[in-house]
Amino acid sequence: MAELATAGGNLDTEVMTINIGPHHPATHGVLRLVVDLEGEIVRDLRPVIGYVHTGIEKSCEDKSYWKVIPFVERMDYVSYFFQMEAFCGAVERLVGLEIPPRAKYLRMIFLELNRIHSHLVWLGTTALDLGAVSMLWYCFRERDRILDLFEMATGQRMHTRYFQVGGVIEDIPRGFEAKLRQFVADMPVRVGQYQDLLDRNEVFLSRTKNTGIVSRERLLELGVTGPLLRAAGEPWDLRKAFDYLAYPEMDFKVPVGTVGDNYDRYRVRVAEMIESVRIIEQALDGLPEGPFIADDRKYVLPPRSELSTSMESLIHHFKLVTEGYRVEAGEVYYAIESPRGELGCFVLADGSAKPARVHIRDASFVNLQAFKDMSVDSYVADMICSLGMLDPILGGVDR
Contact residues toward other proteins (CB under 8 A) are 49-50, 53, 55, 57-59, 61-62, 93-94, 96, 220-224, 236, 241-242, 330-333, 335, 342, 344, 346, 348, 356-357, 359, 361, 365-366, 368-369, 398-399
Half-sphere exposure for 55 (CA within 13 Å, toward CB): 4
Torsion (CA) 398, 157, 338, 358 in degrees, nearest 10: 50
CB of 254 to other proteins, least distance (A): 14
Which residue, 87 or 346, is less far from other proteins as judged by CB?
346
CB of 388 to other proteins, least distance (A): 20
What's the Rg (C-alpha) of the chain? 22
| C-alpha pair distances (Å), 329 with each of 48, 172, 274 | 37, 34, 42
Q: What are phi and psi of 80, to 5 degrees?
A: -70, -35
Q: SS3 for 362? A: coil
CB of 266 to other proteins, least distance (A): 24
Which residue, 273 or 348, is less far from other proteins as judged by CB?
348
Which residue, 129 or 342, is less far from other proteins as judged by CB?
342
Which residue, 215 or 369, is less far from other proteins as judged by CB?
369
CB of 59 to other proteins, least distance (A): 7
CB of 159 to other proteins, least distance (A): 22
DSSP H helices, the chain, are 56-60, 65-73, 80-95, 101-129, 133-154, 176-199, 202-208, 216-221, 227-231, 238-241, 262-285, 311-322, 363-367, 371-375, 380-390, 394-398
Which residue, 29 or 124, is less far from other proteins as judged by CB?
29
Q: What are phi and psi of 63, to 5 degrees?
A: -125, 145
Which residue, 21 or 124, is less far from other proteins as judged by CB?
21
CB of 240 to other proteins, least distance (A): 9
Which residue, 53 or 319, is less far from other proteins as judged by CB?
53
Q: What are phi and psi of 14, to 5 degrees?
A: -125, 160
Tell me, what amino acid is at 299? Y
Half-sphere exposure for 174 (CA within 13 Å, toward CB): 0
User: How many angstroms separate the CA atoms of 73 and 85, rounded?
Assistant: 9
Which residue, 34 or 381, is less far from other proteins as judged by CB?
34
Q: What are phi and psi of 245, to 5 degrees?
A: 50, -140
Spatial CA neighbour of 347 closest among 21, 1, 4, 60: 60
Residues listed for the chain = 399
CB of 246 to other proteins, least distance (A): 18
CB of 36 to other proteins, least distance (A): 16
